[in-house]
Copies of this chain bind each other. A is one copy, B any other.
Amino acid sequence: MKFQPESLRVYLVIGSQNVDDNPAEVVRIVQEACAAGVTAVQYREKDHSKLNQAQTVALGQQIRSITEAAGVPLYVDDDLPLALAIGADGIHVGQGDTPVTEIHAVAPNLLIGLSVHDLDELANSKADLAVVDYLGVGPVYTTTTKEKAKAAILPAGVASVAAKTDLPIVAIGGIQTGNVVTLAGSPIAGVAVISAITASADIAQSVQILMGEEK
């Protein structure tokens, strides 16, 4: 799959640990979110996931089916074997994860997203950005869904990273339907969320707001 910056517009990050360890709930939310128009999905089975290998693969296969049918690119968080096992379109890694050049050498067709906390981390990153398709920048706001999250950088922090790179940026961390408006006009391709969708009582409406259609 060729990378398209537009696919970062509303990027859902989800794993069983975000929905009371219930894989069926992950499936339901991914289905509703894809129907509602999310533009990318990241399968992130981490931080005390209670699934075993078979359950992790099985859920990944289901998410792959749904996203494929919807034409939505699927990324796997920091797990190259899993990404290849379920036929994901891409992988998302952090600064301390497997080097992007090594991933690209092994799986040249895989899209690659890289987390960058802030301007300092971009400046000091050893990653070869030539093989990276997009940057995930944040946390923008304080978040409770990711463990050991760094300090919130606010929309100004995102803008300062954007000024120093030509890579498309998806802003992440603490973004909700109630504060996404603060990113309107930011030099970003889109927003990545977990709870803004997983905890939503009306996923279709939440996705619409995150898209900016109701801003």
Contacts and interface: CB of A to CB of B under 8 A. Distances in A.
Interface of A: 52-58, 61, 79-86, 97-99, 102-103, 105-107
Given A57-B107, A107-B57, A52 B82 contact: no
A202 to B, nearest CB: 33
A80 B98 contact: no
Given A53-B79, A81-B82, A58 B98 contact: no
A54 to B, nearest CB: 4
A81 B79 CA distance: 9
Between A58, A85, A102, the greatest number of chain B beta carbons within 10 A of the residue's beta carbon is seen for: A85
Nearest to A56: B81
A98 B148 CA distance: 28
